[in-house]
């Protein structure tokens, strides 16, 4: 348990991580990042989770990094000399890795956004496999408005999610991208009337994903991520190796029987990853 979010797991393989500081617009303090990283890594390692839903509480999904983090001027933000700058780089990379764990997890991650998805909240949404939002949602690269370049992944990921020119417009201006335009440019998969309808929609999708072979789902995510980051030829070569590792006729037979009978296949969970 931590002060930033709750985490629940259903017996059907759906994990639900819900930001729970609505009185602070679900802002992120430094301790949020390792808490998120450790929670997601544990889910991935244990093998029981088949899909993760990230949602929020209150009016806004997240207003990003708490501004008092920047006012603190502690050792983490010190760039006064060469040694401090070297440490700053390592600290920032570790913060980035706390979001990258969602990309590396063995299951898909669905993000449900209501209200403002601002700054670090936008970084969090962008690293997820899919995004859905309510009609009142908006997205903003807020960092430019406080005199800094966004540095937790949005500048690297947004150009792959929406037209590059629009990504640059948002990065340079800090202007809000409203829900309907976010749908039009492909940032979100659907816009729902309100937060309640939004959560119901993503949970229904999560259940559909969780019913599939977790082996095939995990392999599909690996292949999609590799293809996103590499050329077609390299990705096809990767796919031949990946498929040779995960091709399982028994799993396929189980899936075909379930599909024909319209019953739950009862797939086994992924094996846990052994601790070192």
Output the domain CATH number for residue 56: 3.90.226.10
Q: Is the pLDDT of residue 71 over 90?
A: no
pLDDT, tens only, 168-205: 999 999 999 999 999 999 999 999 999 999 999 999 99
Closest CA to 3 of 27, 25, 20, 24: 20
Burial of 49 (0-12, 13-18, 19+ CB in 10 A): buried
Q: How far is CA 264 from CA 203, 248, 257, 258, 271, in A?
A: 17, 18, 9, 6, 20
Helix (H) or strand (E) holding 178: strand 177-178
Distance CA 272, CA 18 (A): 24
Is the same domain home to 200 and 79? Answer: yes
pLDDT, tens only, 80-136: 999 999 999 999 999 999 999 999 999 999 999 999 999 999 999 999 999 999 999
Predicted pLDDT of residue 91: 93
Is the same domain home to 86 and 134? Answer: yes
Domain, as residue range, for 226: 214-261
User: What's this model's pTM, rounded to 2 decimal places?
Assistant: 0.95
For residue 182, tell me if it sits in a domain.
Answer: yes
Q: How far is CA 172 from CA 47, 118, 120, in A?
A: 41, 14, 16
Predicted pLDDT of residue 27: 96
Is the same domain home to 238 and 151? Answer: no
Distance CA 197, CA 186 (A): 20
């Amino acid at each position: 348990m931590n002060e930033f979010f709750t985490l629940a797991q259903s017996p059907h393989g759906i994990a639900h991580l819900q930001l729970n500081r609505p009185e602070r617009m679900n802002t992120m303090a430094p301790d949020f990042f390792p808490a998120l990283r450790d929670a997601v890594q544990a889910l991935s390692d244990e093998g029981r989770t088949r899909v993760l839903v990230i949602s929020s509480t209150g009016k806004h999904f997240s207003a990003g990094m708490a501004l008092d983090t920047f006012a603190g001027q502690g050792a983490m933000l010190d760039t006064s000399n060469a040694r401090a700058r070297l440490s700053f780089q390592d600290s920032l990379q570790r913060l980035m890795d706390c979001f990258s764990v969602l990309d590396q997890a063995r299951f898909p991650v669905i993000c449900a956004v209501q209200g403002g998805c601002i700054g670090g909240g936008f970084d969090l949404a962008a690293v997820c496999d899919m995004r859905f939002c309510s009609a009142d949602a908006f997205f903003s690269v807020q960092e430019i408005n406080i005199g800094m370049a966004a540095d937790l992944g949005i500048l690297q990921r947004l150009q792959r999610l929406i037209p590059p020119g629009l990504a640059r417009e948002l990065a340079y201006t800090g202007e809000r991208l409203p829900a309907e335009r976010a749908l039009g440019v492909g940032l979100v998969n659907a816009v729902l009337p309100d937060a309640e309808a939004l959560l119901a929609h993503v949970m229904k999708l999560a259940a559909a994903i969780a019913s599939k072979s977790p082996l095939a789902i995990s392999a599909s995510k690996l292949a999609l991520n590799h293809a996103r980051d590499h050329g077609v030829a390299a990705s096809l070569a990767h796919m031949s190796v990946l498929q040779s590792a995960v091709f399982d006729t028994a799993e396929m037979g189980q899936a075909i029987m379930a599909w024909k009978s319209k019953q739950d296949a009862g797939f086994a969970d992924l094996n846990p990853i052994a601790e070192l």
